[in-house]
Structure 1
Amino acid sequence: MCNQVFRKQNMAIAETQLCVGGEEGKDSCRGDSGGPLMRQIDNTWYLVGMVSFGDRICGVRNQPSVYTNVVAYIDWIEHQIIEYN
């Protein structure tokens, strides 16, 4: 669905991005960039994405938002932690 939605705006979703949402009333919105997309597994919360962009109107059904896929950058993140710790 995501590529279909954003193709209309001449945009493609990369492997380093996640397409999320599309539920009415539930979405990231203007000013949320960099905010977390969290997932709970058992009793532990994990950061899986960071708000990147979406439509100008928030929470519209079938209009997803795009998040940066944290897993795609995990090697770089770990390297930064080791190098600067």
Structure 2
Amino acid sequence: MAIEIDDDAGRMSSDECDTVAVRRPDGGWTITGRRGVYSRNQAITAMVLAERRAAGATDEDVFVQGWEAELVMPSHGFETRPEESK
């Protein structure tokens, strides 16, 4: 598992899945397959979660449950929403 975080380009990607996080001009982050705007830390969490799911983890996985919970809570004034489809 390798997540590449390029703060200069405002992009996060993984060699394990197709999920990408992109920084917006206001400093928030959008993530492939998720609705809402996230903080940088939440974007990293979403990338780790995407890699875990790509490796076969399901909703019953305690780590998946914990990381999903972290992504529901707003951070730094950005509105976040739970993923509508998995």
TM-score interval w.r.t. the shorter chain? under 0.3
Q: What TM-score do the two structures reach when normalised by structure 2? A: 0.26
Q: What TM-score do the two structures reach when normalised by structure 1? A: 0.26
Task: Determine which structure has more spread, i.e. the larger CA radius of gyration.
Answer: 1
